[in-house]
Amino acid sequence: MNKIIYVDNAATTAMSDKAIEAMTPYFKGVYGNPSSLHTVGQVAKEALDEARTKIAKCLNCEPREIYLTSGGSEADNQCIRSAALQGAKKGKKHIISTAFEHHAVLHTLKKLEKEGFEVAYLDVHSNGLVTAKEVKAAIRPDTALVTIMYANNEVGTIQPIAEIGKVCREAGVIFHTDAVQAVGHIPVDVKADNVDMLSLSAHKFHGPKGMGALYCRRGLPLLTFIEGGAQERGKRAGTENLAGAAGMAAALEDAVANLDDNAKKLTSLRNKLIDGLSKIPHSKLNGDRDSRLPGNVNMCFEGIEGESLLLLLDAKGICASSGSACTSGSLDPSHVLLALGLPHEVAHGSLRLSLSEANTEADIDYIVAEVPKVVEYLRNISPVWEELEKGQRPHLI
């Protein structure tokens, strides 16, 4: 069995030792319910407050602006529904987003469209970026919300969030950002970024799965997500996931403390990987090379299927992703790559490699040595590649 090289950190990350250590006391020693008035409960409450304070510090906001959730999807759902329904009360039923958001955002928006909202999905440029100017041009008097992701989970492009936030602030429109791929990886500051609402998820920065948070700027009304007890200032009932909160806070604190060093290391590994794989003929890097998450590589190779590439790489111990979420079993190419304007045939041959601090130069050397072999093997058995080589169809990249 080969050594496993895990390069699918945009899907999920391994938990850090710090996160695990921070969680263990709450499984046994500190088992109280933070709502209980006795000592055991109050110790738990203090721990919860401490976790919330740490998370707030990392985002430059106040602890009471942080609401714990079950993850990024829940945070996205709640922020978007809340802003939309509050807007509707004032007769505002227009929402601005982009075509390449995560499905937690897109499906929430689709549902709102069925409920009578109008959503403008801004086109993404071929480099995977939108501009604040385009957002500004799309804002109408009845715009309730702008929701644009901080960094894309497939192609890794980082949007000009502070500029977009400024445009929204000036127009008096609520701005939400799905920052699940950004938090813990690049600097995120809700004040400097002019953000009103933000979603994050612990398992994307070496924290536990099933744990996330949303930021909602003080004074902005937030709908109740779950009816019941008074937890999360009455917005989300249910006894808190104390271990999860402590794990998330520890993981985030660690990620933010080491952010610059990690980003530097990952950017160097990433660039080495991009340069190595770009030598493959008829290949293409997807998304802007510079405004890009430190650990993200996303490439297309003409004439092959991303899924076949993945399976053969897995057999060589390389765990990656095609980036194309095969929604409901259909093999549609990634909506993100299509939003960047790639033709279907090209988008099918995609590979996403998302690195973490645990990856080494040796990992990169191995990937750079193996991927070209697998691509060549697949092209040799591909009827499409044969047609391309014979000039019966034009090369698109």
Ligand X SMILES: *Cc1c(COP(=O)(O)O)cnc(C)c1O
**CA–CA gap between residue 355 and residue 10 (Å, rounded):** 8
Only segment of 72-80, 226-234, 340-348, 387-395 that touches ligand X (CB under 6 A): 72-80
- Which residues have CB under 8 Å from 46's CB, separation 6+? none
Work out whether strand 212-216 and strand 66-69 pair parallel, antiparallel, or are unpaired.
antiparallel
149 binds ligand X (CB under 6 A): yes
Which one of 180, 213, 277, 299 is in contact with ligand X (CB under 6 A)? 180
- Window contacting ligand X (CB under 6 A); options: 176-184, 187-195, 312-320, 372-380: 176-184
CB of 38 to ligand X, least distance (A): 33
Distance in Å, CB of 210 to ligand X, minimum:
7
CB-nearer residue toward ligand X: 214 or 312: 214
Stretch in the footprint of ligand X (CB under 6 A) among 39-47, 175-183, 238-246, 281-289: 175-183
Q: Give the helix ranges, DSSP H, for the chain.
A: 17-23, 39-59, 72-89, 103-114, 132-138, 161-171, 242-257, 259-277, 306-315, 335-339, 344-347, 361-380, 383-389
Which positions from 186 to 215 touch ligand X by CB under 6 A, shown as an x/- string?
Answer: ---------------x-xx-------x---
DSSP codes, 9-76: TTT--PPPHHHHHHHGGGGTTS---TT--SHHHHHHHHHHHHHHHHHHHHHTS-GGGEEEESSHHHHH
Cα-atom radius of gyration of the chain, to the nearest Å? 22
Query: What is d(CA 286, CA 324) in angstroms, rounded to the nearest whole number?
Result: 13
For ligand X, which is the closer residue by CB, 139 or 161? 161
Is residue 326 annotated as part of the catalytic site, yes or no? Answer: yes
Total residues at interface with ligand X (CB under 6 A): 15
**182 vs 388, beta carbon nearer ligand X:** 182
Residue 270 or residue 282: which is nearer to ligand X going by CB?
Answer: 270
- Distance, in Å, from the CA atom of 67 to the CA atom of 65, rounded to the nearest integer, reads 7
Q: Which of 58, 168, 300, 326 is catalytic?
A: 326
Q: Are 78 and 69 in contact (CB under 8 A)?
A: yes
Smallest separation, CB 59 to ligand X (Å): 16
Residue at 47: amino acid letter? A
73 touches ligand X (CB under 6 A): yes
Tokens read off for 62: 């106040």
Under the criterion CB under 6 A, does residue 143 sit at the interface with ligand X?
no
Burial readout 52-71 (b: 16 or more C-beta within 10 A, e: otherwise) = bebbbebbebeeebbbbbbb
Among 32, 34, 72, 295, binds ligand X (CB under 6 A): 72
Q: Is 104 in the site for ligand X (CB under 6 A)?
A: yes
The single residue among 108, 143, 147, 153 that binds ligand X, judged by CB under 6 A, is 153
Segment near ligand X (CB under 6 A); pick from 167-175, 178-186, 236-244, 371-379: 178-186
Q: Compare residues 44 and 252 and give the one whose CB is closer to ligand X.
A: 252
Q: Which residues are catalytic?
A: 326
